[in-house]
Amino acid sequence: MNKFASLAALATVATMAVVPTAVFAETTQAVHEVTEEAAAPVELNAGMMLYASNGYRIAPIYRVNAEGNPQVILNGRLVTVPISTVSEVEGKVVTSLSKKEVARAK
């Protein structure tokens, strides 16, 4: 098993040496640019329901702060959800965070 692990590690290093990291950087930048163009700003209002990406309801939006981040009351706390995680999917306001991740946010 140790010989296999050594061969796998060597193959990985050899592959990474052959493929320049600039290709990875350019691909990541291109994907980011396309995503930014495709992502339209989401209209947020108090009272709209915030959903997790798996479809579960998180909480109604209590208010939207000055930076445009939705704020919800979850487990008795006012929690700010980063606007960068929010999108509109089929007419619903969806965050890419899970309910647990939102609960841990500040």
Digit-by-digit pLDDT tens for the chain (106 residues) are 566 666 666 666 666 665 555 455 555 565 555 445 455 678 888 999 999 988 899 999 999 999 999 999 999 999 999 999 999 988 899 999 999 999 888 7
The residues spanned by each domain of the chain are 2-38, 49-104
Q: Please give the sequence-ordered ranges of beta strands (E in DSSP) within the chain, or none if there are none.
A: 49-52, 57-64, 70-74, 77-80, 86-89, 92-95
Q: Tell me: domain 49-104, CATH 3.40.50.1220, correct?
A: no
Kind and range of the H or E element at 30?
Answer: helix 21-38
Joined together, the tokens standing for residue 96 give: 């890419």
